[in-house]
């Protein structure tokens, strides 16, 4: 039997993990000397309240190897596990998962998969994997198709400023944009597992139009997509983005999701985003 494991940065649609019995291993968030498990000890609403009420900047860290072992020990030699996680260039999560596979001999065949993404960019890969499992696709074929989807999968996100990304150390190649915004609002993306600068707009109200423009450029004529829109404490803005996307593309699937505390720690308030890939040749 094939199972999926993922981490709390996947920001899956509400109820999805429960519906398909997908264990979610939480990343950690520290405010000062207080440590919380993302989505377990700290909900998004509680996180946003802490941001408002404390001067401590949140610091995130990967699940431990021991925590991965606890999850993997749920499985035995009758199971194959697809352990799908946040980009290895953004977190040590994949590294810790690989170490756990080496030292935790459960008998299960565990494949650790680097999504090269985060938030619903990762969640989009989890949904694709679950869809193939439901369709009884053989595991070797699932692995090959996931590799292809990971390469096609794109995230574009807009943030009010770069402050949280800079302080959290996850700014990646978008560092080139620091000091050059001069009142503009940045639009960023992911490429090869890192954050990159894509564009900028003068006002946040232009985020949806610019994101759709960038999607068109990336899709290069493709019009059929699978994906999702998600937000960090900006649901109304996310809905506007969703409407623009649905008006422009043939969306085989476009789910909505809310980013959790770990992602919010690196984007700050007001971020909106889309994760998608061309679905014309999707299984």
What is the spatial distance between Cα 139 and Cα 144, in angstroms, rounded to a whole number? 9
Global confidence as pTM = 0.91
Domain boundaries, the chain: 2-152, 154-278
> Which fold, 154-278?
Hypothetical Protein Tm841; Chain: A;domain 3 (3.30.1180)
Sequence-ordered list of residues with C-beta below 8 angstroms from that of 254, at least 6 positions apart, any chain: 225, 226, 227, 228, 229, 242, 245, 246
Q: What is the pLDDT of residue 167?
A: 64
Classified as helix, coil or strand, 92 is coil
Average pLDDT (242-256) is 96
Domain boundaries 2-152, corresponding CATH code? 3.40.50.10170
Sequence-ordered list of residues with C-beta below 8 angstroms from that of 133, at least 6 positions apart, any chain: 2, 4, 142
- The tokens for 17 are 């993990």
Residues 217-247 pLDDT 10s: 999 888 899 999 999 889 999 999 999 999 9
What is the spatial distance between Cα 9 and Cα 199, in angstroms, rounded to a whole number? 24
What is the spatial distance between Cα 59 and Cα 57, in angstroms, rounded to a whole number? 6
Q: Is the pLDDT of residue 80 over 70?
A: yes
């Amino acid at each position: 039997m094939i199972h999926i494991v993922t981490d709390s940065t996947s920001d899956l649609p509400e109820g999805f993990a429960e519906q398909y019995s997908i264990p979610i291993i939480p990343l950690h968030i520290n405010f000062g000397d207080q440590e919380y498990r993302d989505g377990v000890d700290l909900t998004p609403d509680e996180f946003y309240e802490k941001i408002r009420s404390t001067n401590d900047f949140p610091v995130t860290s990967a699940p431990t190897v021991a925590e991965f072992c606890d999850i993997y020990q749920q499985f035995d030699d009758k199971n194959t596990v697809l352990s799908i996680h946040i980009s290895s260039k953004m977190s040590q999560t994949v590294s810790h998962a690989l170490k756990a596979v080496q030292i935790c001999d459960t008998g299960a065949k565990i494949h650790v998969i680097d999504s090269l993404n985060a938030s619903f960019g990762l969640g989009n890969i989890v949904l694709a994997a679950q869809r193939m499992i439901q369709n009884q696709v053989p595991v070797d074929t699932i692995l090959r198709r996931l590799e292809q989807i990971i390469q096609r999968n794109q995230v574009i996100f807009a943030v009010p400023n770069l402050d949280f990304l800079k302080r959290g150390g996850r700014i990646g190649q978008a560092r080139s944009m620091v000091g050059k915004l001069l009142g503009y609002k940045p639009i960023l993306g992911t490429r090869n597992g890192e954050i990159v600068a894509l564009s900028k707009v003068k006002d946040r109200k232009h985020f949806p139009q610019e994101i759709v423009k960038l999607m068109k450029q990336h899709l290069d004529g493709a019009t059929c997509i699978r994906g999702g829109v998600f937000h960090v404490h900006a649901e109304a803005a996310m809905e506007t983005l969703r409407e623009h996307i649905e008006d422009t593309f043939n969306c085989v699937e476009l789910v909505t999701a809310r980013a959790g505390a770990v992602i919010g720690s690196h984007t700050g308030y007001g971020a909106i985003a889309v994760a998608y890939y061309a679905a014309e040749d999707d299984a």
